[in-house]
Homo-oligomer: A and B are copies of this chain.
C-alpha cells in the first residue's frame, strides 16, 4: 500500500507529512533533512531528499511565513499609471529580490486616497515584509501616510517622509553630464528648456546648468520653464530663436528637461531649417528609449538608471527587513549620459 511508485499527479500539493510518510520518517526529520538542519545519517538525509524530489514536494510558503513571521513579499506602491518610471524601477526591485525568494505586489493607486488606503491595508493584512513607495515624479507625495507602519518603508523616486530612507537620481549630476558634454563638444551658447517651477528637480538641474556654464566661462541664459510636453519644447524654440533672429547669439545647444521637450525642440528646429546636430545640439532627459530612438536624429539623453535605483531600493529594503538599521535620508544615485546623434561628434573625433 506504499505510494512510493506513484508519479504524484496529485490534485493537491504534496505536503511534508506525505514526504515523511513515504520516506518512513517523522515530519520533524523530514524538515530537517530538507533544510540541512539537525543530525542524521547521510543516507537518511539523501533518501528523504530523493523522496521529496520524486513527489515534487514544495514547502508551503504560507506555513513557513506564518511561523517565521516573514512573508517574503513586499509591496510596491506607485501612482504612475503609465508605468513609464515605475516599470523600470519595478524591474530593478524585482531583480534584487527574486533571488531572495521575495515577490512583489504592485499596487497602482493613481491619486485616489481611498484606493491607496485599501491597497495598503490589503498589503498589511498579507503581512508584507516591507513597502517601497514610488511615484511619477519625485515631488508629489503619495496619497497615503506610510510613516507609522511597523514595517520598513523605502522611498524610491518620490518624496520621502522625514525620517525615512529614500533613493533618488542625482538630477544635478545628470544635468552636469549633459552640459559638460556640450562644453566638450565646443558648444558656446547653451540654452535650457525644462518643466514647471513646481518641481524641485527643475531647480536642481537649473542650478547645475548654471554652475557648469560659469565654470566654463560661458554665458548663462535664464532657463525656460514650461511643461513636460512636446508642445512646450516646440514653443520654446520660438522664444529662443525668434526674438534674436539674425543675431549671432542664438543658442547652439539646448539641454531639455525631458525627452518629450527635446523632441518638440528638434521638430521645431527642423521646421525652421536649423540643422541638428550641425547647427544646434540637443540633449534630453529620462532616456525614454522609445522616444529617444525615434527622434530624428536619435536623441542623446540623460538616463536616470531607474532600474539600478530599483535594485538599490530593493536591497536596502531587504537589509532593513533583515534587521539592519539604516540611516534615514536621501541617497542620490548617479545618472548616465546615453550618447546618440543629436549632439554631433567631438571636435577631435
Contact = CB atoms under 8 A, between A and B. Distances in A.
Interface in A171-191: none
A58 B66 CA distance: 15
Contacts of A127: 13, 60-62
Interface in A95-128: 98, 101, 103-108, 115, 118-119, 121-127
Interface in A53-80: 58-63, 65-66, 71-73, 76
Q: Which of A71, A76, A82, A150 has the most CB of B within 10 A?
A: A82
Interface stretch (A26-34, A86-94, A246-254, A322-330): A86-94
A260 B291 CA distance: 10
A100 B290 CA distance: 36
B231 A294 contact: yes
A286 interface: no
Contacts of A84: 82-83, 290
A8 to B, nearest CB: 11
A35 B31 CA distance: 34
A126 B87 contact: no
Contacts of A290: 82, 84, 260
A70 B231 CA distance: 50
Interface in A226-268: 229-231, 260, 263-264, 267
A344 to B, nearest CB: 21
B81 A125 contact: no
A39 interface: no
B107 A123 contact: no
Interface in A190-249: 229-231
B126 A108 contact: no
Contacts of A260: 290, 294
A248 to B, nearest CB: 28
A106 B90 contact: yes
B294 A229 contact: yes
Contacts of A83: 82-84, 86-87
Contact of A108 (B58, B87, B150): B87
Contacts of A263: 294
Given A103-B105, A108-B87, A260-B294, A58 B125 contact: yes
A101 to B, nearest CB: 6
Given A61-B126, A87-B87, A125-B59, A13 B118 contact: no
A87 B94 CA distance: 16
Contacts of A103: 105, 107, 119, 122-123, 126
A98 B72 contact: no
Contacts of A62: 62, 65-66, 71, 126-127
What are the nearest 9 A-B pairs in CB distance? A83-B83, A83-B87, A106-B106, A230-B294, A61-B125, A61-B126, A62-B66, A103-B105, A62-B65
16 contacts: A13-B150, A60-B125, A62-B62, A62-B66, A81-B91, A82-B88, A83-B83, A84-B290, A90-B106, A94-B106, A98-B118, A101-B122, A103-B105, A104-B107, A105-B105, A260-B290
Interface of A: 11, 13, 58-63, 65-66, 71-73, 76, 81-84, 86-88, 90-91, 94, 98, 101, 103-108, 115, 118-119, 121-127, 150, 229-231, 260, 263-264, 267, 289-290, 294
